[in-house]
Amino acid sequence: MMRRLSMALLLYLTFIAYHFRSVHANEANDSRFDMGPNSKSSRPLNLLVINDEKNDSANKSVANALEELKEQRRDLFIGDISVVQINGSDPQGTLISICGVWDTAVRQNSNKIPDLILDTTMIGPGSRTVNSFAAAMGLPTLSAQFGHGNGLGKWKNFKANQANYLIQVMPPADLVPEAIRQLVITMNVSNAAILFDDNFVMDHKYKSLLQKVPVRHVIVKAKEAGSQMTKQLSKLRNLDIVNFFVLGGPETLRAALDAAQALNFTGRKFAWHGLTLGDFSPDCDCMNITVLFLKPSPSANQQALGELKNKGLLMKPVLTSAFYYDLTRIGVTAMRAAIDSGHWPADSNHLTCDAYDGNNTPVRSIPFLSHLKNVTSSSEFQPIYANFTWGERNGQHHASFQMTMSMVIIANSNPVSTEKVGLWDAGIDRQLEVISEDLIANHTAQTIYKVVTVVQAPFVMYDAETNTWSGYCIDLLEEIRSIVKFEYEIREMKNGRYGFMDDDGNWSGMIKELKEKRADIGLGSIFITAERETAVDFTIPYHELVGHSILMKKPDSQTSSLKFLTVLEYNVWFCILAAYFFTSFLMWVFDRWSPYSYQNNREKYKDDEEKREFNLKECLWFCMTSLTPQGGGEAPKNLSGRLVAVAWWLFGFIIIASYTANLAAFLTVSRLETSIESLDDLSNQYKIQFAPLNNSYAHRYFARMAGIERRFYEIWKDMSLNNNFSEVEKSKLVVWDHPISDKYIKLYQTMIEAGMPETMDEAVARVRASESFGEGFAYIGEATSVRYLVMTNCDLISVGKEFSRKSYGIALQKGSPLKTKFDKALTVLYTKLTMTKLSAKWWQENPARKICPKQPDQNAGIGIDDVGGVFMIIFLGTCIAFLVVAFEYLWHRYRPRNISKVKNSRNPGTTLTISLRPAKLHFQPAAVPPEDVFAPREHRGKM
């Protein structure tokens, strides 16, 4: 019992001593709080602390700071502390909670009315409610809400006197993301994905963080580690993002890097950046990855920081907790100075929430901002971690600290290298201080642009076996890449369309991909049109003007050396040959049996100069030569034979005349086919169907031209039927013929009836299926496509001149920074004649080019291919002659010996046996005959 009384007495004496010391401390208050001649005796400083229930760091740091101030700074004479926890997304509940505490204190008119609002809410409707309450009641407020510039909301719309006591200070978590803006600008990043965790609030950063910076970016909250994070990174990669910025603690950064390793997003084409409020080094289960890591530089007040950490008064991240701890210190100290200096009297006019009508806010003259500046500039104030920077107005006040940039290389799950590469003083629009520019430049992910294209030879071609792209446009893009440093990935449009705008104003195809920013570059033989330029940008033309032309099946111009024999059918030739042998045989029979023929009347015709015995050989020869211009020679002597000869002559004359006429027509029959040389020729015939590809540019061209003609017709018709016109004006509109051309209406209708092919292969197949050049199907398409098909196929031909000519260009997103770069690069390539070289490579020197037989000119004469067989007749006849003469020689030389007996003229009554042998023929020039010694000589002399 005595021990308990002794203990109670000791506690009582301790309390008396503590109270006595506190009173004397207040009476002997330091003169630094006396800021005016109207200083009054100290009174308690009451606080209204408004916290966001989600901001654990602020809740604990502010509570710990107030506890420490009560114990260590009794000169501050901290009185009643009212704490309101709000839901940042519930403005009505926030107002009810705050007004409940405030109105109770005001109505009681007690010494518990708050003198200062400590606002550690972050952002959202609840925070805006706190701001509105403080402004309406005219209460000095020190807020750590997030935001600057246009993101401040009502914090920037204050009157001059309100700006002195309604103070907003940007916390570290609101400043660190600003480093991303500087990194993007410094490293010339073209795309970015920003992932953040609960340590950061980015709601107000979506528009402001990278405003006026030409970079495609996405800001999303980081998913949980594992499969969710992996799926999130995959979706971001599908958006063509290769630069990743992770804002968060060690768990968030590790989860992102592990997912990157699983997806193989760790190569040179990717760049990883980590930004944190804590003090740690990045780690992950990665084989090889480099991270540009930014973390706060060590505090200058390590001793005080260490003591608070050891006491457990600061939670992680330490930078944030220390900021709220110091914010509480300077807020309470500055407000104490304002009270002691008389700038904030105890009898200040206060309103209740119900009494406020929107215009009766009390007028205050408290220079709270000046007191804050005095506190932080005092030598007695030592910040735990971050200091404070004060500006002229809200949005310029912020925590002041420095971030260290390091290049961290992780190999085999262990950090193997950490090199300092720069510093950044936290603030708005504060530039980076780069120490190692080479490392920063090398860390930048290669600029990879997504290229969308349509396969169309020879501009763009794809080899599925080797997974390689080639063509005129691919080479051109490589040439541009050598000037404008970038990388690219190509994908083909699934529908193979460049894109058009429908009646509702919606785009399709490649233009849609660019307009919706799913691609950066549209590559291919795409026409530059005014309609497309409203949706995308085009570079300067990279190819000469190109129009449309007609693709048809090449005329059948097969040649044959024996074509002259095909003039007549085989049965006709057989009948002529039969008639020849029959007539020759008949002539021989008549000459043989006629009593008036030469061989039966030799004596009668012995004095005639022309004597011809018509044996079978002579008859054959006569009938053959009668068909030639040389004639058959001497005719038979008998009348019957002559009649047969006349009949044969008449037959031969008709046959020769018919053959000659048909030969000329046959050799030029291809020239008599229907000649298609223009679009008008197609429209003026009915044997050839024609159409472009469905939904192609040519299809749109004809459809719109037909629509224009219909519209013009409707305009003319409305004018003709307009009753407001006078009779004279109407008479001028009356015409006998249709005044508006319907050329394209007819063409388009014919195309619809013919059926438009869906693909190029289908169109070419229909052209090849044509029966001939003058009957079948003709394809209307881009001249370059038609030209390439003709170049690689010998059975196709391009017809007519090009029409509706336009230029090819490279399509880009609207407002893309690539336009200026590509235009400059194309200008350089034009000066180097690169386009000329590419055209020669893919047209004249293309390995797919086929060497086709030269198409005969319709105006040219008959070629040797058509009449070569005639010359073969001479060769064949000569060969036969050689064979015959050889036979004659051998027959005469080696025929059997003949023995004949003749009478001996010298010795009558006896006979001589003469052996006749074939004479040996010596084909030698005849020798000069020897002089005949018995020849009579001419004697000269005188008689």
Q: Cα(249)–Cα(379) distance, rounded to whole angstroms?
A: 34
303-338, pLDDT tens digit by residue?
888 889 888 888 889 999 999 999 999 999 999 999
Mean predicted confidence (pLDDT) in 345-350 = 82
pLDDT of residue 34: 38
- pLDDT, one tens digit per residue, over 499-538 is 888 878 888 888 988 888 888 899 998 889 888 888 899 9
**DSSP three-state, residue 143:** strand
Q: How confident is the model at residue 896 (pLDDT cuts 50, 70, 90)?
A: low
Burial class (CB in 10 A: 0-12, 13-18, 19+), 712: middle
Greater pLDDT, 653 or 833: 833
pLDDT of amino acid 637: 74
pLDDT classification of 24: cutoffs 50, 70, 90 = very low
Q: Is 357 helix (H, G, I), strand (E, B) or coil?
A: coil
Of the chain, the percentage scoring pLDDT greater than 70 comes to 83
pLDDT digits (tens, 9 = 90+) for 668-711: 664 545 567 777 777 787 888 888 888 888 888 888 888 888 88
- The pLDDT, as a whole number, for residue 38 is 39
The pLDDT of residue 824: 92
Least confident of 201-215, 618-632, 788-802: 618-632
Q: Cite the beta strand spans of 141-190 per DSSP E.
A: 141-143, 166-168
Instruction: Indicate whether 156 pLDDT > 70.
Output: yes
Least confident of 444-448, 478-482, 510-514, 704-708: 444-448
What percent of the chain has pLDDT above 90?
Answer: 25
**Residue 939 pLDDT more than 70?**
no
Mean pLDDT over each residue of the chain, to the nearest integer = 81
Please tell me the predicted confidence (pLDDT) of residue 398. 92
Which pLDDT does position 48 carry in this prediction? 93
* Strand boundaries in 131-215, DSSP class E: 141-143, 166-168, 191-196
End-to-end CA distance of the chain: 216
Average pLDDT, integer, range 794-815: 86
Q: What is the pLDDT of residue 7?
A: 35
CB 798 within 8 A of CB 551: yes
What is the pLDDT at residue 900?
53
Q: What's residue 424's pLDDT?
A: 93
Neighbours of 326 (CB within 10 A): 22
Band (pLDDT 50/70/90 cuts) for residue 736 is low
Q: What does the alpha-carbon distance between residue 170 and residue 424 come to, in Å, rounded to a whole number? A: 17
Dihedral angle of Cα 641, 643, 645, 651, to the nearest 10 degrees: -150
**Predicted pLDDT of residue 8:** 36
pLDDT score of 248: 93
Of 191-200, 255-264, 405-414, 877-886, the poorest mean pLDDT is in: 877-886
Q: How many CA atoms lie within 13 A of 340 on its CB side?
A: 22
Average pLDDT over residues 862-885: 63
pLDDT tens digits, one per residue of 615-663:
888 888 888 888 777 676 777 777 787 787 888 888 888 888 887 887 7
Q: Which residue has the higher pLDDT, 900 or 808?
A: 808
Residue 856 pLDDT = 56
pLDDT top residue among 913 and 811? 811
Q: What is the pLDDT of residue 588?
A: 84
Q: Tell me the whole-structure pTM to 2 decimals.
A: 0.58
C-beta separation of 473 from 523 below 8 A: yes
Looking at residue 709, what is its pLDDT?
A: 83
Give residue 181's pLDDT.
92
Average pLDDT over residues 449-456: 89
pLDDT at 873: 61
Top mean pLDDT of 134-148, 156-170, 607-621 is at 134-148
pLDDT at 12 over 50: no
The Cα 745–Cα 749 span in angstroms is 6
- At residue 39, the pLDDT reads 40
Is 90 exceeded by the pLDDT of residue 6? no
Report pLDDT for 369. Answer: 92
Q: Is the pLDDT of residue 236 over 80?
A: yes
| 560 vs 339, more confident | 339
Q: What is the pLDDT of residue 569?
A: 78
Rounded to whole angstroms, the Cα distance separating 251 from 282 reads 9
Task: Encode pLDDT of 388-401 as tens digits.
Answer: 999 888 888 999 99
pLDDT at 911 over 90: no
- Collect all residues with Cβ–Cβ distance below 8 Å to 806 and sequence separation of at least 6: 527, 528, 529, 545, 546, 547
